[in-house]
Amino acid sequence: MGASTASKSSGSAIAIYCTNESERAFVGDGSVVYGCPSQAITDQLRRRGIDVLTAIEDGSDELPDDQLLETVYLLGRVLFTQDIRFKALAENWQRQSKPFAGLIFGHQLGGTIGHYVRDLELIAQTSEPSEWLNVVEHLPF
């Protein structure tokens, strides 16, 4: 695992981490499109000065969900996913009082790329990492 500790952009208070599940969520013409959940969200967040790291970039894309949740906690990043199983895992950790850095869940059919970009940008610019500890939030707001 190649955990990256890329510094946060001056435009964001927290750093976003995107899971491998969400990165594989969008399928085009028979091929998998990688991104957060699509490359468009990752690119747009970065253009807006938001520090985004994906599991593929980090070398963590093959980790089991529980290990990835621990890795993100160690990196101090809020995790964004569209994987319902990952959300269920984080909710289970909440019940067990097992610490994690926070999880933002966006249902695959629940919003547009623009909604997710705006909400994630707002979260990154207006909240602090400590506010997200052991929190599971749903998007769009």
DSSP label at residue 35: S
pTM for the model stands at 0.77
- Residue by residue, DSSP assigns 64-110 as -HHHHHHHHHHHT-EEEE--HHHHHHHHHHHHTT---S-EEEE-TTS
For residues 120 and 80, is the Cβ–Cβ distance under 8 A?
Answer: yes
For 92-140, write each residue's pLDDT tens digit: 999 999 999 999 998 877 788 899 999 999 999 898 888 999 999 998 7
Structural domain boundaries of the chain? 16-139
For 8-59, write each residue's pLDDT tens digit: 344 455 677 776 444 443 333 333 333 445 677 888 989 999 988 888 888 8
Dihedral sign for Cα 111, 25, 107, 138, please: negative
Q: Give Dmax over CA atoms of the chain in angstroms.
A: 42
The letter for the amino acid at 91 is E
Give the whole-angstrom CA distance, residue 106 versus residue 137.
9
